[in-house]
Amino acid sequence: MLDYLIVGSGLAGISFAEVALKNNKTILLIDDKSQNSSRVAGGLYNPVILKRFSEVWDASRQLVLMNDFYNHVEDKLKEKFNFKMPVLRKFFSIEEQNNWFAASDRINLEPFLSTKLISKKFNGIDSPYDYGEVLHTGYINTSLLLEKYKEYLIDNNLLREETFESKDIEFLDLGIQYKNIQAKHIIFAEGFGLHKNPFFNYLPLDGTKGELFVIKAPDLDLDVIVNTSVFILPLGEGLFKVGATYNWYDKTEGPTEEGKKELLERIKEIITCDFEIVKHFGGVRPTVADRRPLIGTHEAHKTLHILNGLGTRGVMLGPSLAQKLFDHIENGEPIDREADIKRFHKRYLKSLISGRT
């Protein structure tokens, strides 16, 4: 009998898979490629919400576990995924500078916000009010990470590329039977695909469409990540990843003309040099209205668990939440109230009445 059957092989799924494997557990992943938000993600990690100058929830712990996780995976797969790189917040006024310095005086933000203005001029970007530097930042090459991890899973017979059918779950005394598979636990890490899951579709996963470009701009002299109304991330050889949009209504995968127009307008407000679009991506991020993830155990079926709602910060949240969920299942450790799906107990009761769960 397997220890864990994991549904989904995005950032959430592989994070839990790796935590389980490090603890000598047996696993199998099932994925049908229907969700691609992890593959097209910007991959940035940043402990500060720059729009509001506030700390990301549980940021310090997430950073430690994130770096340990990706270092381990890099050693395991013999590939580089984690690229340390400063994030510079471009200021548009003296008032924004003052807000930055006020934020950097807060105890919780002091470790993450530099108090030294960055006045360096980058060809292709006007910055009369300079930049503020966020510390402990960088990006994960998510598409390469998922590609290489998938190769590892296939090589070790740990992945089935097929659609998971919830109706085929049979509950046993000590686990579940799914077709010809027996497992002690199922981890649902399906991203926006959660809406098709009859066990957890009562949870308020909204989903936010995001679109990004890869552009070619040979005259853009940039060796840091610049964050303004969009982020600009240098990839080398004159290529840059730029994004992202936030659409709360469109739940389709793939790029749109509306998203393209919005990104072009934002880029032209920042970049003064010529550029061309090389690639255009789109995907639906698994977001929750209260900006907290969804992890925990089903109230009626104790062998079913969820790891979802990573939103825009999956590369930071994934390793930390996977460890929290694993410790909860294996050792009975409590999950933070802010992240535990028990906070939606009333919704669960309503779903029982309506017959959804």
pLDDT at 34 over 90: no
Which residues fall within 8 angstroms of residue 304, CB to CB, at 6 or more apart? 176, 185, 186, 188, 199, 200, 297, 298
- CA 180 – CA 5 distance, rounded (Å): 12
Query: Which residue from 210, 282, 285, 279 is spatially nearest to 253, judged by alpha carbons?
Result: 282
The one-letter amino acid at 249: Y
Identify the pLDDT of residue 25.
Answer: 98
Burial group, residue 260, by CB count within 10 angstroms (0-12, 13-18, 19+): middle
Burial group, residue 252, by CB count within 10 angstroms (0-12, 13-18, 19+): exposed
Domains assigned to the chain: 2-40+143-206+289-354 (3.50.50.60), 86-136+208-285 (3.30.9.10)
Query: Which residue from 263, 274, 284 is spatially nearest to 213, judged by alpha carbons?
Result: 263
- CA 322 – CA 344 distance, rounded (Å): 20
Mean pLDDT of 205-230: 93
- Going by pLDDT thresholds of 50, 70 and 90, the confidence category of residue 212 is very high
SS3 346: helix
Question: Which pTM does this prediction carry?
Answer: 0.93
Question: Per residue in 182-194, pLDDT tens?
Answer: 999 999 999 998 9
Task: Look up residue 60 and give its DSSP letter.
Answer: H
**Helix H segments across 279-344?**
314-331
- Going by pLDDT thresholds of 50, 70 and 90, the confidence category of residue 355 is low
- CA 225 – CA 234 distance, rounded (Å): 7
Task: Look up residue 97 and give its DSSP letter.
Answer: H
- CA 107 – CA 221 distance, rounded (Å): 34
Query: Which residue from 142, 143, 191 is spatially nearest to 43, judged by alpha carbons?
Result: 142
pLDDT at 356 over 70: no
Burial group, residue 327, by CB count within 10 angstroms (0-12, 13-18, 19+): middle
pLDDT at 299 over 90: yes
Higher-confidence residue of 42 and 194: namely 194
- Going by pLDDT thresholds of 50, 70 and 90, the confidence category of residue 311 is confident
- CA 350 – CA 357 distance, rounded (Å): 9
- CA 205 – CA 310 distance, rounded (Å): 10
